[in-house]
Amino acid sequence: MRNKKIWIISDQDKRYATEHLLQILHKGIELRRNDKDEVSVICVGMSREDQFEKLFQYGADRIIFCEQNEGYSISLYVKCIEAMLQDKMPDVILFPASITGRQTAAILSVRFGAGLTACCTDVQYDNEVDRYVFIRPAMSESVLAKITCINKNLQMCTIKENIFDSEFVTNGKSYNMEYFPYIEKKSEKNIEVLERKALNLKERVDIKSAKIVFVVGRGMKNSMDLCKSVARQYGAVVVGTKAAVEEKMIQENHQIGQSGISISPDICVAFGVSGATQHMVGIKGAQLIIAVNTDKNAPIFQYSDYIIVDKGENVLTELAQ
């Protein structure tokens, strides 16, 4: 049985060991069939020893680093990884489903004729067919499809944030650091950085790190003011389902679920949420789920630690007192 090489691509030029990347790294480790399969993290940008050490602490077998200090761009980033792939070809590549990750995966899949599955919620290995299986929602997110890459030696996917857990690993292995040189030819440059300025962004709520989250469904349309007021009282963040976005109850960047973001709060209180599969993917990382719904047969109750059969407005009124 041939040893497998699993590559995980960092999408940052300085902070390589993001929580998202560490989550994907943990999945990469789970995909190893034996100790001879190798999980490598690919980093492009400025040298950061503290970040490299953290990646090793979370289980990376190898780091392949291409140092670039003269201005980071997506074009240069893709060229570096392309050169690495021309030098040595892995069996599977896992990208973060970030803007950079999605762009890079799309470009490289075309250049190398690789199979690419976007926005996966899981990746598995099938011993019978010797292929990786990529799982993602399909048919308007009503089902979860299992996808394999046929007649493709290189398999790729992008993975959403907060789908997997990260895990500190103490494997006692020595750090295996590989440096990959790449110098962009002047004739190849199509972007020139004239100036860099730091943006003074307005303070915004970090949904992904919120400890308490209120999730609203379409049925809470007439109770949003009360919900937001109670949320402020308890230090909670208000998010919602795709239906809540369509009803303009919440902003699109506050949408939870397969087509939105995934969260892992300590407490998740769902008001008027039915519990469709595509939504539950977004909150499955919650430590405690409390569901409030007038339908005693609501599917969300199957996933909940506590259930309340009542109107969300009534429960919020009690919480406000």
pLDDT in tens, 136-158: 988 766 788 999 988 788 999 99
Residue 201 pLDDT: 45
SS3 state at 185: coil
Digit-coded pLDDT (tens) for 258-279: 778 888 899 999 999 998 877 8
Residue 86: which of 69, 118, 111 has the closest Cα? 111
How high is the mean pLDDT of the chain? 88
Residue 62 pLDDT: 96
293: annotated binding-site residue?
A: yes
The token pair that represents 26 in the structure block: 């943990």
Residue 25 pLDDT: 97
Centroid of chain to Cα 316: 32
257: annotated binding-site residue?
A: yes
Indicate the helix (H) or strand (E) that contains 7: strand 5-9
Q: Is the pLDDT of residue 172 over 70?
A: no
> Does residue 124 contact residue 132 with C-beta atoms inside 8 Å?
yes
Residue 258 pLDDT: 78
47: annotated binding-site residue?
A: no
Higher pLDDT, 196 or 237: 237
Count of all residues that appear for the chain in the document? 321
277: annotated binding-site residue?
A: yes
Indicate the helix (H) or strand (E) that contains 231: helix 224-234
> Does residue 236 contact residue 258 with C-beta atoms inside 8 Å?
no
275: annotated binding-site residue?
A: yes
62: annotated binding-site residue?
A: no
Query: 42 vs 39, 133, 197, CA distance in Å?
Result: 10, 22, 27
187: annotated binding-site residue?
A: no
Q: How far apart are CA 64 and CA 71, in angstroms?
A: 20
Identify the DSSP state of 272: S
Q: Is the pLDDT of residue 204 over 60?
A: no
Cα of first residue to Cα of last residue in the chain, in angstroms, is 64
Digit-coded pLDDT (tens) for 230-252: 999 999 999 999 889 999 999 88
State phi, psi for 280 to the nearest 5 degrees: -60, -30
272: annotated binding-site residue?
A: yes
258: annotated binding-site residue?
A: yes
Q: How far apart are CA 71 and CA 65, in angstroms?
A: 16
**Do β-strands 155-159 and 115-120 pair in parallel, antiparallel, or remain unpaired?**
parallel
> Does residue 273 contact residue 249 with C-beta atoms inside 8 Å?
no
274: annotated binding-site residue?
A: yes
Q: How far apart are CA 4 and CA 257, in angstroms?
A: 32
255: annotated binding-site residue?
A: yes
SS3 state at 128: coil
The residue assigned the tokens 């959403």 is 160
Residue 157: which of 121, 130, 113, 112 has the closest Cα? 121
Residue 102 pLDDT: 93
Residue 236 pLDDT: 94
> Does residue 158 contact residue 97 with C-beta atoms inside 8 Å?
yes
Q: How far apart are CA 114 and CA 138, in angstroms?
A: 21
Residue 198 pLDDT: 64
Task: Give alpha helix (H) positions in the chain.
Answer: 19-30, 49-57, 74-87, 99-112, 224-234, 242-246, 277-283, 312-320
State the average pLDDT over residues 223-229.
Answer: 93
Q: How far apart are CA 228 and CA 319, in angstroms?
A: 12
